[in-house]
Amino acid sequence: MSFRWQLMLGVCGLVLLTGAAITWLAHLSAHRSTAILTDALFREASAHAVSETRAFTQRATPVVDALCRLANDGLVLDDPDGLGRQLLAFLQSNPGLSWVSYSDEAGAFTGAYRTADGEQHVRQTRIVNGKTPTLEYDVELDGAWRPAKPEFDSAYDPRVRPWYTKIKGAGRLVWMPPYIFYDQGVPGITCGAPLLDLNGAFRGVVTADFDLNALTKFVARLKVSPNSRFFMYMSNETLLAHPTQKVIGTEGQRMAGTLLTLADIDDPLVDAFRGRAPGDMLSSEASESFQRFQFQRDGTDYLASTTAFRVGDDQVWVVGAAAPKADFLADVWRSQATALMAATGALFIAVLLAAIMARSVSTPVFSMIGFMNRVGSGDLEAKAAFGGSREFRNLADALDRMIADLRDRLRLRHSLGIAMEVQQRLLPSAPPKVRGLDVAGHSTYCDETGGDYYDFLVLDQSTSDAVLVVLGDVVGHGVAAALIMAGVRSVLRDRATNAGDLAELMGRLNRLIAADHGGEKFMTMHLSVIDARTRTMRWVSAGHDPVIVYDPATSAFSEVGEGDLPLGVMDETEYREQTSALQPGQVLFIGTDGVWELPDMKGNQFGKDRLRGVIREAAGGTADEIGAALRESLSTFRGDAKSVDDVTFVVVKVLSDIEPMESADAAATTAGGTGK
């Protein structure tokens, strides 16, 4: 079967199966839809109730904190009228508060409060001779205080009130359980904190209070369905707010009222709710917990939830919600019927579109397959022309650019391969055979071609006891450096036919490079003639690193070769030839900076200390074995890090099979030193 038919049948079959599965699952998920919908509604409404309640109560915390901070720097605690005006200002700036007060250890009380109808008052009490005279002021709209009828003995002592004793004992900010406000007979809740003097001594208690009747008005407005009901209570089932029930069982003045529990109110729905509500409302670590459940009352199924949350550190409040399941089913089934009809219509449309799309996709795909087959067979001149949509045309353009780049890269890689082969042939294929010397060399390029160069020339084939050693490092690497290296090698091979003046040869190379590159390219170079018969090394250095000399007899290292300017920097540079004496067994190491500057994965360099350590350990072997040990150490150190420079070195070991001649030329310097 062709790809086009497979694509058409596959897409159509996939759409058909998907549509059938959606239709069947929609039928099976009716009860799940109800659960999901009600869960979202209950969560949203309960979360709104929690956030509003927290916002309602948490207004008190910053007020209490501010009063504590101002206790010793602003509050006039010893002036009842001045203090009353300050507390009134706090009350007026926080509309949700019912009371703001201060009570001290002498039993004095000063507070500003707001009644349910919005009137504002200031109350002051003092304990004098066992009685509590009380002054009350009505706050007018213009801010004036109008004295109300005084009370000569209200018997009010804040020090014995539960909120005072608990806050004083706790020594911190405390949220009190709901209680009946003294003299007002309304349910309320208090947030308070101890007030300390500058020495940390207890002076009294500041409080911010709320009238809980505001919560009743709030929960009465909450709805998730026409017949739903919300209420609020504490974890011990003390009722805080109910849309139709009062939360005070016995109304009266002062402390005569009592708060009801869920079991006290006449609400059959709440009774059924209590029978199925989860017992473990909130774990000690959680700040909020939402739980859903179901119950029945008089044959009617109800959906319900509890949302427990913390008020301060001491209390857990609960938002309860319940609604008949029937309130949600009609909308759910209506929505499902609409969804089924829409899915059926979408199914037929999708089948038609799938057939059209399969044809529009298969034609460009077949064209692309043919194009890739031509490219795979080696036709890099093929052009991608797929037609179809804009994406396929963009793909064709991208493939044409990719094939063009591939052609260029193949040509470049072929050229670089030839260049690498040619350059490798320019390096010595094997070390020379020199009587009295053991010679080895190595070069590894970080690219296909490089700028490092080394060479050996046996100057007198009849005696084979002296060798010209050349090692250079062109700045940078790659094709440009390789071309310079090749040119230098050609000149050296042409001019270095005998052990003549090395300084003159170096000067000639310098002038050629400076003339060709105008000072923009340069290279370092070491030239030396190592004579086993005279046990000397004549050398010239053009900015190259010194030769490292190791003497096993003393286990000491020295360096030979303070050089002049690199080649190509200045065309008139004059170079100096110098001579050093050699001793049997000494190892000479001549290398480029790519050896000791080789980085590992962390960017640390190999360094000359490690290099000396490798030479010392391998000095007993041949020159080739010393080079092999160094190559292995470099490879282990580098690991998977990328090479960033060429690595080239020459190792020469002085043997003892030729007795040195008595020559004045050999007396230039001691082993490892530098001639003058």
Quick: pLDDT tens for 253-268. Answer: 555 567 888 888 888 9
Residue 417 binned pLDDT confidence (cut-offs 50, 70, 90): low
User: Which of 87-96, 177-186, 545-554 has the least mean pLDDT?
Assistant: 177-186
Question: Are 544 and 525 spatial neighbours (Cβ–Cβ below 8 Å)?
Answer: yes
Checking if the pLDDT of 662 tops 60, the result is no
Average pLDDT over every residue of 599-618: 94
pLDDT at 669: 37
pLDDT of residue 664: 35
pLDDT for 661:
42
- The per-residue pLDDT for range 434-460, each reduced to its tens digit, is 999 999 999 888 876 677 889 998 877
DSSP state, 658? S
402-413 in b/e burial notation, b at 16+ Cβ within 10 A?
A: ebeeeeeeeeee
**CA 355: distance to chain centroid?**
46
pLDDT in the model for residue 266:
86
Residues 6+ apart with CB under 8 A from 410: 380
CB of 335 within 8 A of CB of 313? no
* 182 or 590, higher pLDDT: 590
Instruction: Output the DSSP codes for 280-292.
Output: ----SS-SEEEEE
Which has more confidence, 551 or 478?
551
Assess whether pLDDT exceeds 70 at residue 362: no
Residue 91 near residue 113 (C-beta atoms within 8 A)? yes
Average pLDDT of the chain, as a whole number: 82
Mean pLDDT of the 148-173 span:
90
Over pLDDT 70: what percentage of the chain? 83
pTM of the model: 0.45
Predicted confidence band of residue 606 (pLDDT cuts 50, 70, 90): very high
Whether 558 shows a pLDDT value over 50: the answer reads yes
Distance in Å from the first CA to the final CA of the chain: 90
Residue 102: what residue type? Y
Q: Which residue has the higher pLDDT, 335 or 322?
A: 322
Can you give the pLDDT at residue 336?
Answer: 66
In the predicted structure, residue 139 carries a pLDDT above the cut 60: yes
The pLDDT assigned to 168 comes to: 93
Question: Per CATH, is 428-667 categorized as 3.60.40.10?
Answer: yes
Query: What is the Cα gyration radius of the chain?
Result: 49
66 contacts 90 by C-beta, under 8 angstroms:
yes
pLDDT band for position 497 (cuts 50, 70, 90):
low
Q: Residue 674 pLDDT more than 50?
A: no
**What is the token pair recorded at 54?**
């927290």
d(CA 334, CA 621): 94
Residue 389 burial (CB count, 10 A): 12
Using alpha carbons, select from 403, 456, 402 the residue that is nearest to residue 426. Answer: 456
58-211: CATH superfamily: PAS domain (3.30.450.20)
pLDDT band at residue 665 under the 50/70/90 scheme:
very low
Token pair for 452: 């490092």
Stronger pLDDT, 117 or 365, i.e. the higher one: 117
Q: pLDDT, tens digit, for every residue of 14-69?
A: 766 776 676 667 656 666 777 787 888 888 888 888 888 888 777 888 999 999 98
**pLDDT higher for 87 or 400?**
87
Give the pLDDT band of residue 676 (cuts 50, 70, 90). Answer: very low
Residue 651's H or E segment, with its range, is: strand 647-654
Given a cut of 50, whether residue 625 has pLDDT beyond it is yes
Quick one: pLDDT at residue 668?
37
Strand, coil or helix: 176:
coil
Pick from 214-223, 250-259, 292-301, 580-589: least confident: 250-259
With 50 as the cut, is the pLDDT of residue 275 above it? Answer: yes
Read off the pLDDT band of 424 (50, 70, 90): low
Would you state the pLDDT for residue 376? 74
